[in-house]
């Protein structure tokens, strides 16, 4: 019986990690970066190199966080 409980607890931990990774991905997709991109596209202006670098850095940080959580 103790083995079953241990297995279930391990599964619970694995599911919590997956849930966290999914929540992080959703947060990343709904985050403030999308608003900046929409605003730039809406006005018909191109993004500056600095803005592109900022977005790239933020995306890399989000994905690193997700990959670390999925671990």
Q: What is the pLDDT of residue 23?
A: 86
Instruction: Specify the pLDDT at position 57.
Output: 94
pLDDT at residue 61 in the model: 94
Higher pLDDT, 46 or 69: 69
pLDDT at residue 53 in the model: 93
Reading the block at residue 2, the tokens are 């103790």
pLDDT tens digits for range 17-57? 898 888 888 888 887 554 555 555 555 567 888 999 999 99
Domain ranges of the chain: 2-70
Q: The whole model's pTM is what?
A: 0.40
Q: Distance from first CA to last CA of the chain, Å, rounded?
A: 29
């Amino acid at each position: 019986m103790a083995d079953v409980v241990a297995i279930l607890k391990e599964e619970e931990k694995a599911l919590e990690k997956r849930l966290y990774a999914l929540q992080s991905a959703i947060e990343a997709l709904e985050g403030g970066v999308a608003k900046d991109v929409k605003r730039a596209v809406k006005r018909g202006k191109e993004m500056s190199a600095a803005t592109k670098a900022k977005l790239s850095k933020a995306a890399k940080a989000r994905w690193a966080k997700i990959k670390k959580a999925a671990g």
